[in-house]
């Protein structure tokens, strides 16, 4: 795998340090964490949704926590008791516990979460404060000071 060196860009940019650090961290292996699979979608101009496949987990076995721009989703299976007396011959549905972390951008808040058909949907919304939004700066023309040169008349 190729590694991209962003250090020359640090010298020629201002305020993009966090962006380059995040891009750098994307190239790092994440320890092979692939369970559970997830999608991230943009559902509006400032709205996002994370969909996590959590088949077999109930809502009381999943916990969601947002703290300091990190969203953590944990799933812990409770011990299954053999109530119906059936013997399990093959286990193809994963029943392992998991913990998945997502780094959230500044001013992104968790709006809510729903569990439907084995998918956990976490809705996010970006709320940029009014003072941090871009604003239009009006350009005013500077008054032109013209110097009038008077011609001397010959006597």
Evaluate whether residue 139 is within a structural domain.
no
Is residue 2 located within the same domain as residue 64? no
Q: How far apart are CA 49 and CA 120, in angstroms?
A: 10
Residue where the block lists tokens 């956990």? 120
Is residue 41 located within the same domain as residue 24? no
Residues 6+ apart with CB under 8 A from 41: 48, 49, 50, 51
Is residue 43 located within the same domain as residue 94? yes
Percent of the chain at pLDDT exceeding 70: 70
Of the ranges 8-12, 59-63, 87-91, the best mean pLDDT one? 59-63
Which of 2-16, 23-37, 48-62 has the least mean pLDDT? 2-16
| pLDDT level of residue 132 (50, 70, 90 thresholds) | confident
- Counting the structural domains of the chain, the total is 2
Work out the number of other CB atoms within 10 angstroms of the CB of residue 141: 5
Is residue 11 located within the same domain as residue 48? no
Q: What is the CATH number of the domain that holds 94?
A: 2.60.40.790
Domain carrying residue 47: 35-80+90-128
């Amino acid at each position: 795998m190729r590694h991209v060196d962003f250090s020359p860009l640090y010298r020629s940019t201002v305020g993009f340090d966090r962006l380059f650090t995040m891009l750098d961290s994307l190239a790092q292996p994440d320890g092979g964490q692939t369970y559970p699979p997830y999608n991230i979608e943009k559902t509006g101009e400032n709205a996002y949704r994370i969909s996590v496949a959590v088949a077999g987990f109930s809502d009381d076995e999943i916990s969601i926590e947002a703290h300091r721009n990190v969203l953590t989703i944990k799933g812990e299976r409770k011990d299954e008791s053999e109530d119906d007396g059936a013997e399990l011959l093959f286990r193809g549905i994963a029943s392992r516990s998991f913990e998945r972390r997502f780094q959230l951008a500044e001013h992104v808040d968790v709006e809510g979460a729903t569990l439907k058909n084995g998918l956990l949907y976490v809705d996010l919304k970006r709320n940029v404060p009014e003072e941090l939004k871009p604003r239009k700066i009006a350009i005013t023309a500077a008054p032109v000071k013209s110097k009038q040169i008077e011609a001397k008349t010959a006597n």
